[in-house]
Structure 1
Amino acid sequence: MKKSLVALFFLFLTGKLVAQEFDALKSEFDRSDALKGYFYGFNLYDADNNRFLFGIDENKHFTPASNTKIFTLFNSLKHIGDSIPGLHYVERGDSIIFWGTGDPTFLHSKLDSHKVFDFLRQKGKQLFYADGPKPQEPFYRNGWAVEDYEEYYQPELATFPIYGNVVTFREKAGRMSVVPDYFQEATKVGDPQSGKFSLTRTFDRNEFWMSAKVIPNRYVNEKPFRYSTALFLELLQDTLKKSVQQIAYEKPKDVKVIYSTSTKEVLREMMLPSDNFLAEQLNMVAALQYYGNFNTASMRQYMEKTYYHYFSDKIDLNDGSGLSAYNKVTPRSMVELLLLVQQEVPNPVDLHYLFPTGGVDGTIRSAYALDRGEPFVWAKTGTITGVYCQSGYIRTRSGRNLVFSFLNNNFIGSATPIRKELVRLITFIRQNY
């Protein structure tokens, strides 16, 4: 009994000392005018000594925006191997029957390894694409904004993506270059308009309209296209320069796999520029790996029951990218998630490679300045209207390794003042702890 009382007293004393240690940080939050007038939550954890250090509304729920991608990162680390499965197939005589895996890298402008392409292009083999009678997953997730249908960050989702499910437009010698070339004839000049040059897509069709014939120098844009199996087959045949037929064929258990791109490189591309398409497709790949189908809702439920159920706070996820405003997490749950990721990638160099590095690359390249010539924060950002979040890892001047989550919701106007204040406070932690 006496031993228990001593232990309880020690825990109380330790908690009191920790609280006193962070009085200065609390004062920095309290005196911040930039944080007044909207909702925010913060949590800080000591990864070296495995204890929570400081929090403000760390148990309150917030919309995380692209901080959601950290959940996708963890899911991918658990269920996708070193390389992305790019194609399932069987050979029957002189024919190849193949299925999509959700792999987002096929003919992707940055990530394609050409392994799947080269396999399909081999001579002497007739190609048959086996696709279900209806999509196994909706092309948008719950809570996505339909008015963003033509924005580069919201391509439609598919079991077999191609070209990242976007058309890339680029000015070359005064003309508009279109990739894939298949959409060249679908790109036209509409009624001339005054003002800034614009490029739009018709809502329900793959028609692209330029507002003027004169294209700005170095103009680059990406527009999602309306995806369908029929269009996929046309694009594939146009690229391979060979026939591809659709077939109804049940996938056998002894299906073979062609692997495409390094999983690590795809995860880095998802995390650094915050690519929504990659995030959603990776969840589909993970679901296929685990369930044998593309049911990402079941995948989210499984992850919640197996891992997130043990978080201090309940969470609610409706997508894998953070485009959905329905997602709700707490700062404390984000810190606990980051600790799970750290367990999967214990080497700090490998771990930091997967996160934007303050003052170096990704979405926080210009947010932080190097301190004493070195980076000190590796964090995922999350930004949608009225939301700005950062969650990640800090290394302090004294060598401490900390984990943090700073979630900001329901502000009006630009996120710039919030971002600057967040950076100031994280830098304060770096320099004083």
Structure 2
Amino acid sequence: MKNLLTFLLLYVSFSLSAQDFSSITEQIQSSEVLKKHYFGFSLFDIDEQKYVYGINEDKHFTPASNTKVFTTLTSLKLIGDSIPGIAYIERGDSLLFWGTGDPTFLHSRLGNSKVLDFLKNSNKKLYLAFQPTQEPSYRDGWSIEDYEFYYQPELSQFPIYGNVVQFKEVEGSLRLEPLYFEKYVKYLTDTITRYRIHRPLDNNNFEINNFPLPAQYVNEKPFKTSDSLLISLLQDTLKREVFWTRDSLPKEVNYIYSTATKDVVREMMLPSDNFLAEQLNMVASFMHFGSFNTGDLRKYMKDNFYRNFQDSIELRDGSGLSVYNKVTPRSMVELLLLVQNEVGDEAAKLRLFPAGGLEGTLKNIFHAPEGKAFVWSKTGTINSVHCQSGYILTKKNKRFAYSFLNNNFLGSANPVRKEMVRIVTYIYENF
């Protein structure tokens, strides 16, 4: 009799639990939006250490900027506490330095003066050493027509100014940062009835239609990188001569460190910065291999950290711009758990993700009851793709990791976004 009672209690408990989580199915099935496209969802109970719900969780999707969660783990594993700004050696009266891929040098939001001051104040001749590399300035699966948009700068061994020119209205006039590019600006007389800045694919001649400059105008345009341009920009910025060399990177070098790694990761994650994501992979490759080969880097991470994933994954970049990336919702959850284990501290982990209703790409998406977020998640959006993967803290203080991936819908992502918010909010309120 006692064994029967125990069985019944366990059966009722399991049934209630299953019924509770099956109510998510009702929320999904009631959606007129979700039934029109391909989606997958996976929910993992962090405290109980088990999956509690899934639909198409083992199917492959294009993740868009959810890819940046992979870059987060790569950065935490391989870069160290701070970003190496340059590698250098002193040889007689010369200072030889190598780019590390560090994206923060003279960056408009992350720049600090550590590397700049070091180079400016050196009393030695400066030689920038270029490493031979097969690393392309664009990744496989990127849209070439986006070359002149702020979110797709070219990638390089030694980024400067974020590899973009900033155009900004200041007291009624257009100001460029860096000023070096002013000589390449040409004003056109045409019939375009809006203010537009255009750069041809193959050069850095910026064309501006002769239309009144809008108040508070700010725009960033990628420039076409080259070794010679980098030398010119360095000389223009440092106000001193910079030579170049092809010297190989020695085994023993010194470093000037620029910015805390977690600060750069956070700046990548909150606004979903593609340039920072790709350059962080460049830095990780430099630190691990001593060279730039992000293809080998992705293979290394896959073989050593993702090998126990239940599902295979395919990554072709670090930002999510590539349409060739393929992951499953379940793999995203497994990745989120790896990030949690790597960081350890709960607050530090959540700080790396946009907080719903408060900041980043989730600022105007979720509500934040009494000013407190209940979801911290990475979004991802490209054409016909909209995704979220992150963490939920419910009203009952239950912790979940989740991934909600949506592909192949037509039109705006707004209806899809609203459905994800509705279902995630339902989980917050009911579990």
Structure 1 position 243 matched with structure 2 position 235: no
CA contact (8 A) 2:354 2:362 kept: yes
Alpha-carbon distance change, 294 to 18 in structure 1, aligned in 2, over 3 angstroms = farther
With the length of structure 1 as denominator, give the TM-score of the two structures. Answer: 0.95
The 3-state SS of whatever aligns with 2:390 is strand
In the alignment, which residue of structure 2 is the partner of 1:140? 138
The 3-state SS of whatever aligns with 2:307 is helix
CA contact (8 A) 1:189 1:213 kept: no
CA contact (8 A) 2:333 2:389 kept: yes
Instruction: Kindly report the root-mean-square deviation, in angstroms, between the aligned alpha carbons of the 2 structures.
Output: 1.7
Aligned positions of 1:64-213 closer than 5 A:
64-132=63-131, 134-213=132-211
Alpha-carbon deviation of 1:361?
A: 0.2
Q: Aligned letter for 2:386?
A: Y
The 3-state SS of whatever aligns with 1:99 is strand
Alpha-carbon deviation of 1:45?
A: 0.3
In the alignment, which residue of structure 2 is the partner of 1:262? 260
CA contact (8 A) 2:153 2:275 kept: yes
The 3-state SS of whatever aligns with 2:412 is coil
The 3-state SS of whatever aligns with 1:184 is helix
| Residue deviations 1:382-422 (CA, integer Å, cap 9, x gap) | 00010000000000000000010000000010000110111
In the alignment, which residue of structure 2 is the partner of 1:367? 365
Structure 2 segments unaligned to the other structure (5+ residues): 1-7
Alpha-carbon deviation of 1:340?
A: 0.2
Stretch of structure 1 that moved more, 115-124 or 408-417: 115-124
Structure 1 segments unaligned to the other structure (5+ residues): 1-8
Alpha-carbon deviation of 1:18?
A: 3.9
CA contact (8 A) 1:19 1:54 kept: no
Q: Distance in 2 between matches of 1:136 and 1:168?
A: 29
In the alignment, which residue of structure 1 is the partner of 2:4? none
Give structure 1 regions of 4+ aligned residues with deviation exceeding 3 angstroms: 9-18
The 3-state SS of whatever aligns with 1:327 is coil
Alpha-carbon deviation of 1:24?
A: 1.5
Q: Aligned letter for 2:56?
A: D
CA contact (8 A) 1:83 1:260 kept: yes
Alpha-carbon distance change, 12 to 122 in structure 1, aligned in 2, over 3 angstroms = farther
> Which of 333, 339, 342 in structure 2 is aligned with 1:341?
339
In the alignment, which residue of structure 1 is the partner of 2:23? 24
Stretch of structure 1 that moved more, 234-243 or 340-349: 340-349
Paired positions, count: 425
Alpha-carbon deviation of 1:105?
A: 0.4
CA contact (8 A) 1:391 1:404 kept: yes
Aligned positions of 1:270-419 closer than 5 A:
270-419=268-417
The 3-state SS of whatever aligns with 1:310 is coil
Q: Distance in 2 between matches of 1:399 and 1:167?
A: 46
Stretch of structure 1 that moved more, 192-201 or 110-119: 192-201
CA contact (8 A) 2:133 2:292 kept: no
Alpha-carbon deviation of 1:186?
A: 0.8
Q: Distance in 1 between matches of 2:372 and 2:230?
A: 46
In the alignment, which residue of structure 2 is the partner of 1:3? none
Alpha-carbon deviation of 1:36?
A: 1.6
The 3-state SS of whatever aligns with 2:361 is helix
CA contact (8 A) 1:43 1:335 kept: yes
Q: Distance in 1 between matches of 2:10 and 2:354?
A: 36
Q: Distance in 2 between matches of 1:143 and 1:16?
A: 46
Alpha-carbon deviation of 1:168?
A: 0.3
Q: Distance in 2 between matches of 1:11 and 1:30?
A: 29
| Residue deviations 1:1-44 (CA, integer Å, cap 9, x gap) | xxxxxxxx999998765432212111011111111211000000
Stretch of structure 1 that moved more, 148-157 or 207-216: 207-216
Q: Aligned letter for 1:366?
A: N
Alpha-carbon distance change, 103 to 10 in structure 1, aligned in 2, over 3 angstroms = farther
Alpha-carbon distance change, 10 to 118 in structure 1, aligned in 2, over 3 angstroms = farther
Q: Distance in 2 between matches of 1:86 and 1:206?
A: 26
The 3-state SS of whatever aligns with 2:295 is helix
CA contact (8 A) 2:103 2:276 kept: yes
CA contact (8 A) 1:193 1:212 kept: no
CA contact (8 A) 1:358 1:378 kept: yes
Alpha-carbon deviation of 1:190?
A: 1.6
Structure 1 position 40 matched with structure 2 position 34: no
Alpha-carbon distance change, 30 to 213 in structure 1, aligned in 2, over 3 angstroms = closer
Alpha-carbon deviation of 1:432?
A: 0.4
Alpha-carbon distance change, 161 to 11 in structure 1, aligned in 2, over 3 angstroms = farther
Q: Distance in 2 between matches of 1:297 and 1:250?
A: 21
The percent of aligned pairs where both chains have the same amino acid is 54
In the alignment, which residue of structure 2 is the partner of 1:59? 58
Q: Distance in 1 between matches of 2:144 and 2:191?
A: 25
With the length of structure 2 as denominator, give the TM-score of the two structures. Answer: 0.96
Q: Aligned letter for 2:66?
A: N
